[in-house]
């Protein structure tokens, strides 16, 4: 046995242990594990440990799978919404002008990191800071099960528009033009039915996972081979398959792999070097400037007729700097547009905004409830069709979450409550499906404080919540309790650790879907099959 080979291999994966320890540590103080991964990267860098080939390869794989998964869930029509493409363009232009001007004026301050910066150099730095993190936003939205909500769709749409701007910049700055053979990529469009048909034959197990890996990595490699950005290939191949019967199942099957690979990405951010004191102060200042970016997002979204609540939640999802800033910084250093310490500055500012944004996102709905009156002062009277406040009509029994469990609950209660029963879900596509099936459903969100505040006392007798995220359930229950609602609150959960806090919060009935399903199955078999035992 080659002990040297084993030792070398272990040196490549020590970061798994470090990431686990830091992730556990921050979770004890109610911070997301990703904050721990960022801190672990900086700690390892400060200790003189450098990022290795394995870590970079795993991080790149995580990004590829992330973009492929985004594409699978993306409705291309969403990008054509004015509040997405217009806000993306306006926000980027204003940010570049404002941040670029500030950075250029700092070149006269005498600080070494700003010395010699031209107007063009300042604009490049501002361009790097104009992006928000796709990786961070998608991970947070997925953890909160808000990818299909309106604010989630708007945030993802803006991020994808930014990714497209990034591809244009990378192509222009590298001087590399796509090969003429890249036109052959258009043949992927008529091949869509063939690929989807092959996916249908893979079933639900490891063949589906292997197919997803092949499509994500194969699409990335194919685009790179033809002179087009590899990450764009993974994204567009996912978009090509979106809307198919298998796209949602494929995204779900890749979820666990994507999560573990992204740990390496967050770690790799911290490996950009140990900061000096001036670099740290500049990074902290840039982190404070994030407030301006957030306010600008909010005001632009309000301008395009989104509600205060939707605009606020979208802005929070975008309130961070992007990993793309490091890519721009690398190009800037290579072309002599900035010194190498700017990579460290951007990495620190990025990490600070990740931490602050993590805390803010975890309390997003509570923050909106607290500052609702202030935020609503800027709200326009006009509303987009899918962003109007909820009106339950004469319904007295509400089912929030029309997934498989919620649909089963609705169908079971329909005979008893009839038109007094209402199903509510935050996904427009889910609601359209149920309405086509004849169910009484509307678009809405249980964590919408506006809805609970407007609910007429005594108008609703029972509320049933089927939401996969325990924090969102607790937030919804807390909002309900702040009103004069006196009816029954029932909640469906998938894990026992959510039962106790929900009971403390005042829920009348908590139903463990998995445990009760097993008990229900056993009772059904016992009643329908009579077996005489020896």
Domain ranges of the chain: 3-376, 389-528
Residues shown for the chain: 534
Question: Between these two residues, 87 and 190, which has the higher pLDDT value?
Answer: 87
Going from the C-alpha of 285 to that of each of 97, 112, 207, 290, the distances in angstroms are 18, 16, 49, 9
The residue ranking higher by pLDDT, 64 or 294, is 294
Average the pLDDT over 150-160 and give the result.
87
Q: Which fold has domain 389-528?
A: Rossmann fold (3.40.50)
Q: What is the mean pLDDT of the chain?
A: 80
The pLDDT value given to residue 395: 86
Cα 9 versus chain centre, distance: 33
Q: Are 512 and 493 in contact (CB under 8 A)?
A: yes
Residue 182's pLDDT is: 75
Q: What is residue 423's DSSP assignment? A: E
- State the pLDDT confidence band at 292, using cuts at 50, 70 and 90: very high
pLDDT of residue 271: 74
Q: What is the pLDDT of residue 1?
A: 40
437 token code pair: 């099936």
Torsion 233-238-240-241 (CA) sign: positive
The pLDDT tens digits for 166-179 are 777 776 776 666 77
Higher pLDDT among residues 323 and 192, named by residue:
192
For residues 385 and 305, give the distance between their C-alpha atoms in angstroms, rounded to a whole number.
10
Q: Which residue has the tokens 């404002």?
A: 98
What local confidence, expressed as pLDDT, does residue 293 receive? 93
Give 76-113 as a DSSP string. GGGGGSHHHHHHHHHHHHHHHHHHHHHHHHHTTS--GG
Report the pLDDT value the prediction gives residue 144, as an integer from 0 to 100: 74
**Which pLDDT score, from 0 to 100, does residue 9 have?**
45
In the predicted model, what is the mean pLDDT of residues 302-307?
Answer: 90
pLDDT given for residue 319 in this prediction: 92
Angle CA 157–472–139, to nearest 5? 40
Q: What is the DSSP letter of 320?
A: S
Domains 3-376 and 389-528 fall in the same CATH topology: no
Query: Average pLDDT, stretch 136-162?
Result: 82
Q: Kind and range of the H or E element at 18?
A: helix 3-27
The number of CA neighbours under 13 Å toward the Cβ of 269 is 32
- Of 499, 498, 533, 493, the C-alpha closest to 517 is 493
Q: How confident is the model at residue 327 (pLDDT cuts 50, 70, 90)?
A: confident
More confident residue, 130 or 511: 130
Most confident region among 73-87, 300-314, 492-506 by mean pLDDT:
300-314
Q: Which two tokens stand for residue 60?
A: 């790149």
* pLDDT at position 98: 93
Report pLDDT for 516: 65
- State the pLDDT at residue 3: 39
The pLDDT of 210-214, averaged and rounded, is 85
What would the mean pLDDT of 353-364 be, rounded to a whole number? 85
pTM: 0.74
Residue 89, token pair as written in the block:
């363009």
Q: How many CA atoms lie within 13 A of 88 on its CB side?
A: 21
Read off the pLDDT of residues 395-454 as tens digits, 9 standing for 90 and up.
889 999 888 888 888 888 888 888 889 999 888 888 888 999 999 998 888 877 777 766
pLDDT in tens, 448-480: 777 776 676 667 888 988 877 777 788 888 888
pLDDT of 300 higher than 50: yes
Phi/psi region, residue 275 (left: phi>0; alpha: psi -120 to 50; beta: rest), is: beta
The burial of 164, by beta-carbon neighbours within 10 Å (0-12 exposed, 13-18 middle, 19 or more buried), is given as middle
Percent of the chain past pLDDT 70, that is, above it, reads 88
Q: Is the pLDDT of residue 239 over 90?
A: no
Res 318 pLDDT > 90 = yes
Fold of the 3-376 domain:
Na+/H+ antiporter like fold (1.20.1530)
Q: Does 288 score more than 50 pLDDT?
A: yes
> What does residue 400 show for φ and ψ, rounded to 5 degrees?
-90, 125
Whether the CB-CB separation of 342 and 121 falls below 8 Å is answered with no
Kindly state the average pLDDT of the residues 342-347. Answer: 82
pLDDT at 152 over 80: yes
pLDDT over 60 at 527, yes or no:
yes
Instruction: Give the separation between CA 12 and CA 388, rounded to whole angstroms.
Output: 52
Lookup result for tokens 């192509």: 171
346's tokens = 């951007």
Per-residue pLDDT at 272: 65
| Confidence label for 523 from pLDDT (cuts 50, 70 and 90) | low
pLDDT tens profile 4-21: 443 344 455 677 788 888
């Amino acid at each position: 046995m080659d002990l040297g080979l084993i030792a070398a291999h272990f040196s490549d994966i020590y970061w798994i242990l470090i990431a686990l320890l830091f992730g556990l540590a921050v979770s004890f103080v109610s911070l997301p594990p990703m904050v721990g991964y960022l801190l672990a990267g900086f700690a390892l860098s400060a200790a003189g440990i450098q990022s290795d080939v394995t870590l970079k390869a795993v991080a790149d794989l995580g990004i590829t799978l992330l973009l492929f998964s985004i594409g699978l869930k993306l409705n291309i029509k969403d990008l054509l919404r004015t509040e997405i493409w217009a806000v993306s363009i306006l926000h980027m232009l204003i940010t570049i002008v404002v941040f670029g001007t500030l950075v250029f004026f700092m070149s006269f301050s005498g600080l070494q990191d700003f010395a010699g910066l031209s107007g063009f150099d300042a604009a490049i730095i501002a361009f790097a800071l104009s992006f928000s993190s796709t990786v961070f936003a998608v991970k947070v939205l997925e953890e909160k099960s808000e990818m299909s909500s309106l604010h989630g769709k708007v945030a993802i749409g803006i991020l994808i528009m930014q990714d497209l701007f990034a591809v244009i910049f990378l192509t222009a700055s590298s001087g590399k033009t796509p090969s003429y053979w890249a036109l052959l990529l258009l043949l992927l469009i008529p091949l869509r039915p063939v690929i989807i048909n092959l996916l249908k034959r893979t079933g639900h197990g490891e063949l589906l996972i292997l197919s997803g890996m092949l499509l994500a990595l194969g699409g990335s490699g194919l685009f790179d081979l033809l002179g087009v950005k590899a990450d764009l290939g993974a994204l567009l191949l996912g978009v090509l398959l979106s809307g198919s019967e298998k796209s949602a199942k494929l995204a779900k099957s890749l979820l666990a792999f994507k999560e573990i690979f992204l740990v390496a990405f967050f770690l790799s951010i911290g490996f950009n070097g140990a900061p000096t004191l001036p670099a740290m102060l500049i990074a902290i200042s840039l982190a404070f400037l994030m407030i301006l970016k957030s306010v600008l997002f909010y005001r632009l979204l309000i301008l395009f007729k989104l509600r205060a609540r939707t605009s606020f939640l979208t802005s929070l999802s975008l309130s961070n700097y992007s990993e793309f800033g490091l890519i721009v910084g690398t190009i800037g250093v290579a072309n002599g547009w900035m010194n190498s310490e700017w990579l460290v500055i951007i990495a620190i500012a990025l990490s600070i905004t990740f931490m602050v944004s993590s805390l803010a996102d975890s309390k997003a709905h509570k923050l909106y409830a607290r500052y609702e009156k202030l935020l609503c002062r800027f709200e326009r009277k006009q509303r987009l069709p899918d962003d109007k406040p909820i009106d339950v009509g004469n319904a007295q029994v509400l089912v929030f979450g029309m997934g498989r469990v919620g649909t089963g609950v609705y169908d079971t209660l329909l005979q008893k409550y009839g038109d007094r029963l209402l199903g509510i879900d935050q996904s427009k596509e889910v609601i359209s499906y149920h309405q086509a099936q004849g169910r009484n459903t509307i678009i809405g969100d249980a964590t919408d404080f506006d809805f609970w505040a407007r609910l007429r006392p005594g108008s609703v007798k029972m509320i049933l919540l089927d939401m996969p995220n325990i924090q969102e359930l607790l937030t919804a229950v807390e909002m309900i309790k702040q009103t004069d609602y006196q009816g029954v609150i029932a909640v469906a959960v998938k894990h026992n650790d959510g039962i106790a806090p929900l009971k403390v919060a005042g829920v009348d009935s908590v139903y463990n879907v998995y445990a009760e399903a097993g008990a229900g199955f056993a009772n059904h078999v016992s009643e329908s099959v009579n077996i005489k035992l020896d």
